[in-house]
Amino acid sequence: MTGEMTPAERTAVTMEFEEPDRVPLFLLFTIYGAKELGLSIRDYFSRPEYVAEGQMRLQKKFGGDCLNPFCYAAVEVEAWGGEVIFAEDGPPNAGLPPIRSPEEIESLEVPLVEESPGLLFGLRTIELLKKQVGDDVPIMGSVVSPFSLPVMQLGFDAYLDLLYGEPDLFWTLMKKNEEFCVEWANAQVEAGATAVGYADPLASPDMIPPDLYRRTGFVVARRTIPRIEAGVATSLASARALPIIDDLAGTGSVGVGVSAFDDLATVKRQCAGRLTVLGNLNAIEMRRWTPAQAEAEVKRAIAAAGPGGGFVLSDNHGEIPWQVPESVLMAIAAAVRKWGNYPLDWVSG
Amino acid sequence: MRPEIPDHPGPDASSPQFSDLEEALLAVDRMRAGRIIEAACAASSPVSCIETLIVPVLEEIGEMWEQGQVALSQVYMSGRISEEIVATMLPPGSPERITQPKIAIAVLEDHHTLGKRILLAVLRAGGYEVTDYGSGVTVDSLVERVLQDRVEILLISTLMLPAALRAKEAVTRIKEAMPEAQVIVGGAPFRFDADLWKETGADAVGRSASDTLTIVRGMAGAVVS
């Protein structure tokens, strides 16, 4: 292929473990679009048209290679009866967990997507974006994994108590969450999502021991991911992935989001030919980078994981914080165009 | 404040009980952990047993988490089990519990409570009385409660970047009114940006529960001496 590729072509080629025209850049904006439109975060999330417009403007401004209609993770727990708390300068957050005691799990009803306003909002946003970009720009759908969702459904500590102490109730909850997750993911695919991000931070060895993951979250992922009718990339939301790369490759995932605490070059070697690597710019530190630091970080990541394709430059969490200055994002966008053009002759070894 | 008690020395870090307890806690084996502590502490006072066995083992587990060798769930469950055992040795309100200086903890602007829960377990397993201000606490409410209770060591737990940045306002207002108050911040944003805590004006950052326990022990010693 000659000339400049579309974002979709660029991403597809790298996911085939070949080198496209340059390293794809996924700037995963969520609340940042509100800033672009001059709206409060609450107002921004009041109409799908605002979110779609925010995504389009940001894609044009920074030249990213994907659109990210994902609004906030708490939208899923809202469907299960939880509350969402809005902030002025941060992502809307989950309030108190809706499941107050494990005994409620047995009688818990799986919410229907078509009856959940927050989820319908997400689907409408995807439809609006799809209408504008067609097949030229990948649209990332998002789900929280059935295994990690209980952190918001029950609270993290109560969920760990369940995981260690109530295996029957744990598996009952997983069954319900799996049904919800598959329905929600496939609704996004039907609305126009090109691929689906599967947020599973609890899978990380930072959170639970790998042997426990293999007996629980891995089993859940292997049952869930193959039922999703699009490519799935697993994100551990800033937590380390390296020690369980082989497991993640066995879930049916085609990509993995990598932590700033992971060694990117080692992850890339481990993933070779099996999983596309997304990462791993430190989104928290990013708010106080200089443009020169941003360029150096981009260069470091491309040198570590760019050769041979199978790499998408992104942040390590899946969200660009409100506090990151535009100058840093501009520097990242410029650096990927300066250092990310294939072949990467400047990378030694 | 803990009273002076004549004591027999407890087990040390090289003792078999140390590695046995560590293994039992990491395996989330409550019964075994209870038996090990009961056997190891038969010849010493509860206070000595806590200081020479339980606290060092929890500190070691916390360090292993910082080095990526164990998972957060194991840190949490180890703290919970130890907290339960210590509660039977030193029931809440026991005169041997450390009630001075006054310590409190809050999750700022968030309802994710795991970090606070782990800290509470580890500090209580260390014999400290800690006031729990709960989760979803605003800056205004935190400042008001700290001043009202004359808290001497405050632990602020955060999950998201905006809350971590907002800790600065809380620290500034608390220190204006009570310059002697010590504040420790902690949570994910401070791990991902090692210098972020300095922006808050806090006295220290707790990078793990065991790290925080060490800091609290140092501060508590300075405050009460």
* Mean pLDDT, range A249-276, rounded to an integer: 97
In this prediction, residue B6 carries a pLDDT of 39
Of B68, B77, B161, the CB nearest to A160: B77
Cβ atoms within 10 Å of A93's Cβ, excluding its own:
23
CATH topology assigned to domain A7-339: TIM Barrel (3.20.20)
In this prediction, residue A5 carries a pLDDT of 97
Q: Are residues B82 and B151 in the same domain?
A: no
Does some domain include residue B11? no
Does some domain include residue B3? no
Q: Please state, in angstroms and as integers, the Cα–Cα distance from residue A277 to each residue in A9, A72, A93, A266, B138, following that order.
A: 17, 23, 27, 11, 38
Q: Do the Cβ atoms of B71 and A238 come within 8 Å?
A: no
Instruction: Write out the H or E segment, with its range, that includes residue B24.
Output: helix B16-26
Which token pair is A33?
């679009």
pLDDT by residue, tens only, chain B of 225 residues: 443 433 444 556 667 889 999 999 999 999 999 999 999 888 888 888 888 899 899 989 999 998 999 999 999 999 999 989 988 888 777 777 777 799 999 999 998 889 999 999 889 888 899 999 999 999 999 999 999 999 999 999 999 999 999 999 999 999 999 999 999 999 999 999 999 999 999 999 999 888 899 999 899 876 554
Number of domains in chain B: 2
Q: How far is CA A315 from the centre of its chain?
A: 10
Cα-based angle A97, A102, A108 (whole degrees, multiple of 5)? 75
Does some domain include residue B4? no
ipTM attached to this prediction: 0.93
Q: Are residues B209 and B119 in the same domain?
A: yes
Give the nearest chain A residue to B191 (CA atoms).
A284
Domain boundary among B29, B64, B89: B89
Does some domain include residue B1? no
Closest CA to B183 of B101, B117, B113: B101
Q: Are residues B111 and B218 in the same domain?
A: yes
Q: Are residues B148 and B219 in the same domain?
A: yes
Domain boundary among B65, B89, B113: B89
Q: Report the distance separating Cα B72 and Cα B91, nearest Å.
A: 27
Q: Are residues B78 and B124 in the same domain?
A: no
In this prediction, residue B2 carries a pLDDT of 42
Q: Are residues B41 and B145 in the same domain?
A: no
Does some domain include residue B125? yes
Q: Are residues B84 and B108 in the same domain?
A: no
Q: Are residues B201 and B107 in the same domain?
A: yes
Q: Are residues B123 and B199 in the same domain?
A: yes
> Which is more confident, B4 or A103?
A103
Closest CA to A206 of B85, B69, B218, B101: B69
* Mean pLDDT, range A22-50, rounded to an integer: 97
Task: List the single range of A150-164, A219-233, B10-24, B204-218 with lowest mean pLDDT.
Answer: B10-24
Of B72, B160, B192, the CB nearest to A207: B72
Of A90, A160, A285, the CB nearest to B160: A90
Q: Amino acid identity, residue B90?
A: L
Q: Which residues on A lie below 8 Å from B112 (Cβ)?
A: 94, 151, 155-156
Q: Quote the domain boundaries for residue B30.
A: 16-89
CATH code of the domain containing B135: 3.40.50.280
Does some domain include residue B83? yes
Q: Report the distance separating Cα A185 and Cα B24, nearest Å.
A: 40
Domain boundary among B57, B89, B121: B89
Instruction: For chain A, give every domain's residue range.
Output: 7-339
Does some domain include residue B5? no
Cα-based angle B52, B55, B56 (whole degrees, multiple of 5)? 70
Beta bridge partners of B98: B128
Does some domain include residue B123? yes
Q: Are residues B116 and B209 in the same domain?
A: yes
In this prediction, residue B222 carries a pLDDT of 66
Residue whose structure tokens are 């997983």: A174
Q: Are residues B127 and B181 in the same domain?
A: yes
Q: Do the Cβ atoms of B193 and A285 come within 8 Å?
A: yes
Q: Which residues on B lie below 8 Å from A209 (Cβ)?
A: 70-71, 73-74
Closest CA to A341 of A7, A22, A20: A22
